Amino acid sequence: MFYRLTIIFILILSYFNTEAKTDKYRCMWRDDPATTMVVAWNQIGKTEATLYLDTLKHNGDYTMFCHQFKADKKHWFKRMNHHFVRLNNLKPNTVYYFILKDNDSQSEVFSFKTLPDTKDSQLSIIAGGDSRNHRKYRQHANSLVSKLRPDFVMFGGDMTGSDGSTPWKNWLDDWQLTIGKDGRITPIVAARGNHERSNKVIEKIFDSPHKDIYYALNIADGLLRIYTLNSLIAANGNQGKWLEEDLKNHDYPIWKMAQYHYPIRPHTAKKSESYNQQKYWAPLFYKYGMDIAVECDAHVVKTTYPIRPSNEAESDEGFIRDDENGTVFLGEGCWGAPLRRNNDNKKWTRASGSFNQIKWLFINKESIEVRTVKTHNVNEVSQLNDLSKFSMPENIDIWKPESGEVITIVQSQNPIGYQPNSSLKGELAAISLASNHKNGAMKVGIFFLILFIIMMYPAYAVMFKDKLNFSFINNKNN
């Protein structure tokens, strides 16, 4: 009997010794995505894990890994022991492997890939939000992230329904489905939704770079600048000032995208309008050439034509279609939250629907392609890899509304909104050129007029000799 108990005890002990004492892994950015990365996990074991990092996998032998890091930041939040290693001075466009090892356990080998640092790159991005309530549908979308292998995910808030500890634990467990079978972790750029009861939820779970959850990331040396805005605080005030200053000071990115939670003009009648965002953000989007705004919260599907703020006769709810200089709005959630009816289209709506979906974007310096991907059949979708990530996997269900399945935004078609340094500069350059032409023509005209007068002077002198003499004589007489 004693012998049997001893064997069982040893088996149990050995089981727990091999079980990872870390979980809920994720990656984020606080700074340049080409050279930095934040790696986060939940520390279960009593001893603190060390992160072993290298650009080679070394068959999972952590002793061969070149670099070791301890957590730069750790806190107890939502009944989890969050640890964060903030990595700097990484090489751009490079796969890094890491292992978390503590006294009790060792994780599998994970990897992440830094973004490129040149505008000549191509990016694959998944954007969406609202994953609360239905874990099954949330898991579908998460698994699709793993299969499509994007460079990163933009997530527009409302991760959980109640913002409680258990829902957050579940959410982070579900997020592990975004990790590739080879251990690849896709970074998340997180915004706050109304179901996050405070800014600190996003800050503490995703190590956000700004405590008020508005921040910008410069990507691929100005190929793209992403603005994460906070719908749950004042749209003007400090956030509005920061947004305008940042847009003013960063006119070099080729493309600009924003993400935030509340849609300015939701496409379901169940949701109210976001007048302050319309008042304070939409004019800045137009003035500074925001190419795309990703919105959430309403749990419907929508894409719009490029639009700008307007109260003109043909406008609708404060916007009018402007294919040259407008912003394309995408949305509105559907990462697992309860779906609503899409019953509030506008004149400038390109298409709307009601199904679980994510937005999938390909970006290079010439164009942006946007697709809406239905997430229901993820198990039938084939796996992409780093080399094939810009191709369509087998069985992927791309939404095909009448307006077309791909929205293509071509840079050259939009001198204000679609070119670097172009907010008004395109127009100003054109005005300047026309003005120069006018000035030049005027100068040439004056030159020939003076030349004509000089050449004709002898003829005039003869023709008006008498009059000239008369005048002279009269003057003299006077």
Where does this chain bind Fe ion (CB under 5 A)? Answer: 158, 193-194, 297
- Give the residue with the Cβ less far from Fe ion, 140 or 192: 192
Give whole-number Cα distances, 407 to 303, 304, 306, 310, 366, in Å: 9, 10, 11, 23, 14
- Give the residue with the Cβ less far from Fe ion, 200 or 365: 200
- Give the residue with the Cβ less far from Fe ion, 113 or 192: 192
- Give the residue with the Cβ less far from Fe ion, 194 or 236: 194
What is the token pair recorded at 132?
């609360």
- Rounded Cα distance, 177 and 180, in Å: 8
- Give the residue with the Cβ less far from Fe ion, 131 or 208: 131
What is the token pair recorded at 362?
């390909």
Least gap, CB of 338 to Fe ion (angstroms)? 11
- Give the residue with the Cβ less far from Fe ion, 194 or 383: 194
Least gap, CB of 194 to Fe ion (angstroms)? 4
Least gap, CB of 298 to Fe ion (angstroms)? 8
Calculate helix-pair angle for 465-477, 425-463, nearest 10 degrees. 80
Least gap, CB of 354 to Fe ion (angstroms)? 16
Return the closest-CA partner of residue 376 out of 126, 129, 136: 136
Least gap, CB of 132 to Fe ion (angstroms)? 8
- Give the residue with the Cβ less far from Fe ion, 194 or 315: 194
Least gap, CB of 189 to Fe ion (angstroms)? 18
Catalogue the E-assigned strands of 310-463: 319-321, 328-331, 349-353, 357-363, 367-374, 397-398, 407-410
- Give the residue with the Cβ less far from Fe ion, 215 or 262: 262
Contact present, 409 and 419 (Cβ < 8 Å): no
Least gap, CB of 344 to Fe ion (angstroms)? 16
Q: What angle do CA 281, 38, 219 make, to 5 degrees?
A: 45
Q: Scanning the structure block, which residue is given the tokens 């302050």? A: 276
End-to-end CA distance of the chain: 146
Calculate helix-pair angle for 135-148, 165-175, nearest 10 degrees. 30
- Rounded Cα distance, 5 and 124, in Å: 55
CB nearest Fe ion: which residue?
297
- Give the residue with the Cβ less far from Fe ion, 296 or 368: 296
What sign does the dihedral 215-286-223-147 (CA atoms) show? Answer: positive
Least gap, CB of 271 to Fe ion (angstroms)? 9
- Give the residue with the Cβ less far from Fe ion, 200 or 389: 200
Least gap, CB of 351 to Fe ion (angstroms)? 22
Contact present, 125 and 97 (Cβ < 8 Å): no
Q: Scanning the structure block, which residue is given the tokens 């356990």? A: 105
Give whole-number Cα distances, 125 to 239, 296, 307, 425, in Å: 25, 16, 22, 29
Question: From the CA atom positions of the chain, what is the Rg in Å?
Answer: 30
Return the closest-CA partner of residue 390 out of 188, 140, 110, 121: 121
Least gap, CB of 231 to Fe ion (angstroms)? 8
